[in-house]
Structure formats: C-alpha cells, structure tokens
Chains A and B, each alone.
Chain A
Amino acid sequence: MSDATNPFTSHGKRATCMEMLQLYLDGEVTPEQRAYFLSHMDHCMPCFKTYQVDVAIRQLLKDRCCKEAAPGDLITQIRAQINQKSS
C-alpha cells in the first residue's frame, strides 16, 4: 500500500504503525482509515500483537481500576453544603 492511498497520511507525512494503531484503538478513525488499518494489520504482525496487548490492558484497567464508589454519605453532604451556602 503506497502513501498515496494511505488515508492516515497528513500533510504529506506518513503515519507510523503506532499512530495508526492508537487512533484505531481509541475509535478516532474515519471509515476509510478503519478499513485501511484492518487490512494493514492482516500483514503487520507487530501491529497485530500490539493491538492484542493494548486491548487486554484496557480491559484489565476497566476491570480493576473503576471500583472506587463514592461514599454513601457524599451526596447528602453535597446537598447540605449547597443548601447552606445558597440560602
């Protein structure tokens, strides 16, 4: 695939594998870029491996780092503060 047909090319600058992968992973691609990158990943083993690892890390983050629930009395305290200072 030449740069001329690469929809990630911006101002004549070729995007690196990792730039393309990040945009794809973060859902920041156009439909053309998505199709191009999926096709690219079919024959780029480093991209494929990195993508697998990145997806696994993101899932791990979501599973393990989103569990800090607000204390039960926090909403009550917030309401009390608002009512006190706005009255």
Chain B
Amino acid sequence: MPIFDAMEGARQVYTEAEKHEIFDREFLPHIHAMYNFGYRLTLERDDAKDLVQDTYFKAYRFIESFQRGTNAKAWLFRILKNSFINDYRKKTKEPSKVDYQEVESYYNSDDVNRQITSDLRIDSLKDMIGDEISNALNSLDVDFRTVIILCDLEGFKYEEMAKILDIPIGTVRSRLHRARQLLKEKLSQYAKSMGYKTT
C-alpha cells in the first residue's frame, strides 16, 4: 500500500459527502489504535483523548492532502506523533535526551545482546501476570517507547515507521534494537525481583 502519496503529490479535491465518507470509512476505524498510541505516549488518559481529538480534527481539516485508499493509519499516526511533539511535549517536558551515539555503538555488539537475553527466560516471561510488561514499556524514554509501539504493537513496517517519525530507516532499525534491549533489561530486573533464576 502506498504511504503518504498525496503528501508528495497533487492535492485532492473532495465533495463534502466524500470527505465524510473518507473520514468514516478510512479514519475512524483506527480510533482505538490511535487512542492506545496517544495513551502510551502521554501516559495520561485525558491527554490521550485530547491528542486523538486534535489529530482527527487536523486530519479532517487537511483531508485534501490525503489520497483515499492509501495508508490512512500511518498518516494518522504521523499527525498524532507530530501533535505530541509540537504541542503536548513542549508544554510538559524537556525534549528527549536519548544518546543516539550510544545507540549506534550498541548495535553491533552481539556480546552485549547475548548477555541481556541470557538473563531472561521464557518461563519467567510467561508468568508475568501483572502490569510488569506495561510498566517496563512505559518506563522507557518516549522515543524508544514509540518505536516499540509502532513495530511490535501496531505492526508497522520499517518504511512506514521512517515516514511516521521522519527519520532514516537505518535509524529506525538501530533505535528499535536499542529499545528492545532496554525493555529486556527492565523485564530481567522484574524477573529477578520475582525470584526467578535468570542464569
């Protein structure tokens, strides 16, 4: 499915009836995924609601930039992500301070990867019945959290993620890799605290 064709191409012309049809059939079916994304970014239900409402309003306002039949979900996620960065994040927190140099240097170290993974066992993961996984995900820096949400929860491909986040595919890969390592470290800490043998 083409991604954001309309953003790079001609502006569309729709009648009011067509706008409503696109909105109802292509945008609204993603509302739960959008809300979940908003919640995972802000970690507040009221803020998530505001963010989603604002995103849908912008999507309708700029609907002529959207070509029907293209990737509506990725387009909506991109608007939500931009609203979060430009509106919400500015009001609340300092920008992310992720050390991307560290990300790159981590990427090619199989030894580090194996050490972290060997600390986790399938049986301990399967017994995590509380909110451990959710808490671990929420505790990650928002940039790392975002790539895990987009890839592992929503199933976006690297190319779609690159467009949603405005970053190169290579950065998607390395950031995703580092995010998963950090998540494993958190889960490993939980597993140890629950008394599981981790080696």
- Where the two chains meet, the residues of A that have a C-beta atom closer than 8 Å to any C-beta of B are 16-19, 22-23, 26-28, 46, 49-50, 52-54, 56-58, 60-62, 64-71, 74-75, 77-78, 81-82, 85-86
In the complex, are the beta carbons of B177 and A69 less than 8 A apart? no
The tally of residues in B whose CB lies under 8 Å from a CB in A reads: 50
In the complex, are the beta carbons of A50 and B148 less than 8 A apart? no
Known: A50-B113, A66-B36. A22 touches B177 (CB 8 A): yes
Q: Is B134 in contact with chain A by the CB < 8 A criterion?
A: yes
- Where the two chains meet, the residues of B that have a C-beta atom closer than 8 Å to any C-beta of A are 23, 28, 31-32, 34-36, 39-40, 45, 48-49, 52-53, 56-57, 60-61, 107-110, 113-114, 117-118, 120-122, 125-126, 128, 131, 133-134, 137, 148-149, 151-153, 157-158, 173, 176-177, 180, 183-184, 187
Having A60-B128, A68-B48, one finds 7 other A-B pairs with CB under 8 Å, namely A27-B157, A49-B117, A56-B126, A65-B149, A74-B31, A74-B49, A86-B60
In the complex, are the beta carbons of A64 and B49 less than 8 A apart? no
B125: which of A27, A60, A69 is its contact (CB, 8 Å)? A60
In the complex, are the beta carbons of A57 and B183 less than 8 A apart? yes
A-B contact list, 15 entries, CB within 8 Å: A18-B177, A46-B110, A46-B117, A53-B121, A53-B184, A57-B180, A60-B128, A62-B153, A68-B35, A68-B45, A68-B48, A69-B36, A70-B52, A74-B35, A81-B53
Query: Which of A52, A54, A74 lies at the interface centre, i.e. has the most chain B CB atoms within 10 A of its CB?
Result: A74
B53: which of A23, A68, A78 is its contact (CB, 8 Å)? A78
For the complex, what is the distance from the CA of A74 to the CA of B53, rounded to whole Å?
7
In the complex, are the beta carbons of A82 and B133 less than 8 A apart? no
Contact residues in B for A50 (Cβ distance below 8 Å): 113-114, 117
In the complex, are the beta carbons of A70 and B31 less than 8 A apart? yes
CB distance from A61 to the nearest CB of B (A): 5
A53: which of B120, B133, B177 is its contact (CB, 8 Å)? B120
For the complex, what is the distance from the CA of A68 to the CA of B134, rounded to whole Å?
11
Known: A18-B177, A70-B31. A53 touches B122 (CB 8 A): yes
Contact residues in B for A62 (Cβ distance below 8 Å): 152-153
For the complex, what is the distance from the CA of A62 to the CA of B122, rounded to whole Å?
16
Known: A65-B153, A82-B57. A53 touches B134 (CB 8 A): no
Known: A22-B177, A28-B157. A68 touches B39 (CB 8 A): yes
For the complex, what is the distance from the CA of A83 to the CA of B23, rounded to whole Å?
13
B151: which of A16, A26, A75, A77 is its contact (CB, 8 Å)? A26
